[in-house]
Each structure stands twice: as structure tokens, then as C-alpha cells.
Amino acid sequence: MNDLSRPQLRLIIFYEWRCGTPAAETVTKTGKVFGETNDTDRIRAVCIPRGEEPPVQSKANLHENKCLLSCFWDAKGMLYYELLPQGRTVNATTYSNQLASLALALREKRPRRSAVHLLHDNALPHVAKATQAKLQELNWDTVPHPPYSPGIALFIYHPFRPLKLFLKKKRFAKYEYLKMAVFDFFNSQSAAF
């Protein structure tokens, strides 16, 4: 017997539910009609007694092959960017290290800069104690992020559309190849980018 599809299972369960049939009886009926297959096991997994919460099931990691790009720029152009390895996210330690690298890049690219003002939202890495300590150590100010402003939203996301078009339909077998492609993209842009 072929396996039932999910829509077919849902239809059977819904029909039996509408008829007032208890879940255990639905499983028994389905087993009698279609034979004891792995479909009846799937129905048992779907049937939950009234008043009970369903078990928490984590979804498959849909973004396991994605890499996170952190960018820092000012009105004159890109200052610092970092491509994190697959599966790694930004936490307070990572963000503090990025701020230290940004400080070095600022000294190199903008040696006459006296004050730094970071546009921050309230993401956990931005408000963590380690980050706040690093900002005080660097003597940098933060500018609160407005709740929503279409004008600022366009400015914030400006570099990502050209990068998306540059990387469109490209596949990278290794993290290093992706890193080189991002490096080439930012190096090919004008200073006004």
C-alpha cells in the first residue's frame, strides 16, 4: 500500500473529528482500512489528547549553509566588514571583537576622526554588558535607532542590494571562495558607495 500524503491524512483526521470520532478510534479505523503501515504511526503522532500541549519539535535548520555578513560604514564609504563562518551568529563577544576591529580600521582609514557615533538598535549583542563596556573603553557614543523611518531604512540597506545582485546565482563550494567574492565586491566599489 502506498503511503498517504499529508493532505490525505489531514482530510481523514478532519473528517473523523467532524464526525466526533475520538483520536484513538480514528487511528484504529485508518489501520483497518489502509492496513498497519507507517501512516498510522504518523496519525498517532498527530493525534493529541484534549487539553495537552503538542510536543515541541524544532524545524530542520533551513539556513545551515548561510553565512552572516556584518558591515560598518560611514558617509564616505565602507569602513569594516566581516563574513562569519557558517552557523555562527553575532553574540556580545563577537560584536565586541568586531568593534575592536572597527576601531583599528577607523584609525587606518579616517585618522582625523575625533568622535564616533554608532547607530544602534536594541538587539541583544548591542545592549549586552560586554558591548557597553567596549563602547566605554573606545569612548564611542551610540545613537538610538528610530522605531521606523522609511528614509533611514533605505540608507541602512543600500549596500545589500548590489551585493545580492553580484552574488546572484553563484554557488560556493567553500567558505573561503565566498569570502574572496565578498572581498572582491567591496574592493570593486567606488569610495562613494
Q: For the chain, how many residues are written? A: 193
Tens-place pLDDT, residues 108-159? 988 887 788 887 777 888 888 999 999 999 999 888 776 666 655 555 566 7
The model carries a pTM of: 0.58
Instruction: List the one residue out of 127, 121, 123, 119 whose CA is nearest residue 147.
Output: 121
Q: Check residue 1 and give its pLDDT.
A: 41
Residue 118, burial from CB neighbour count under 10 angstroms (0-12, 13-18, 19+): middle
pLDDT 10s per residue in the chain (193 long)? 456 677 777 777 778 778 888 777 777 777 777 665 555 555 555 566 667 776 666 666 655 677 888 888 887 778 888 988 887 888 899 999 999 999 999 999 888 877 888 877 778 888 889 999 999 999 998 887 766 666 555 555 667 778 888 888 888 888 888 888 888 888 887 766 5
Q: Are 69 and 182 in contact (CB under 8 A)?
A: yes
Q: Which domains does the chain have, with CATH numbers?
A: 6-46 (no CATH), 69-188 (3.30.420.10)
